[in-house]
Amino acid sequence: MLVCFGASWPFAIVKTYKTKNVKGISFIFLILLLLGYIFGILHKIIFNFDYVLIFYIFNGSLVLTEIVLYLMYKDNDKAS
């Protein structure tokens, strides 16, 4: 799951960046995903420290990037 999500997020990020359109993207969903990754990172650090932590950090950073793009371009949808 982590590998598939990690492979999919760059496509979503590039699409958002190129189109500068966030129509159809749920901000609440992105926040929940980020929280999930944060809790996964904390779990790995506290209870089960291993290499999978890298995937959680990578995916979390991709979701955070999509959140930043959403915040940058959310006003573009209101104008159209």
The predicted-structure confidence for 7-33, as pLDDT tens digits, reads as follows 999 999 999 999 999 999 999 999 999
Please enumerate in sequence order all residues whose Cβ is within 8 A of that of 44, keeping only pairs 6 or more positions apart, or say none: 50, 52, 53, 56
Helical spans, DSSP H, in 1-80: 2-19, 27-46, 52-79
With a cut of 70, say whether residue 79 has pLDDT above it: no
pLDDT band at 2 (very low <50, low <70, confident <90, very high): confident
Element (H, E) at 14: helix 2-19
Which pTM does this prediction carry? Answer: 0.91
Q: Token pair for residue 1?
A: 């799951």
Contact 22, 16 (CB under 8 A): yes
User: pLDDT of 18-74, one tens digit each?
Assistant: 999 999 999 999 999 999 999 999 999 999 999 999 999 999 999 999 999 999 999
Q: How many CB atoms lie within 10 A of CB 75?
A: 9
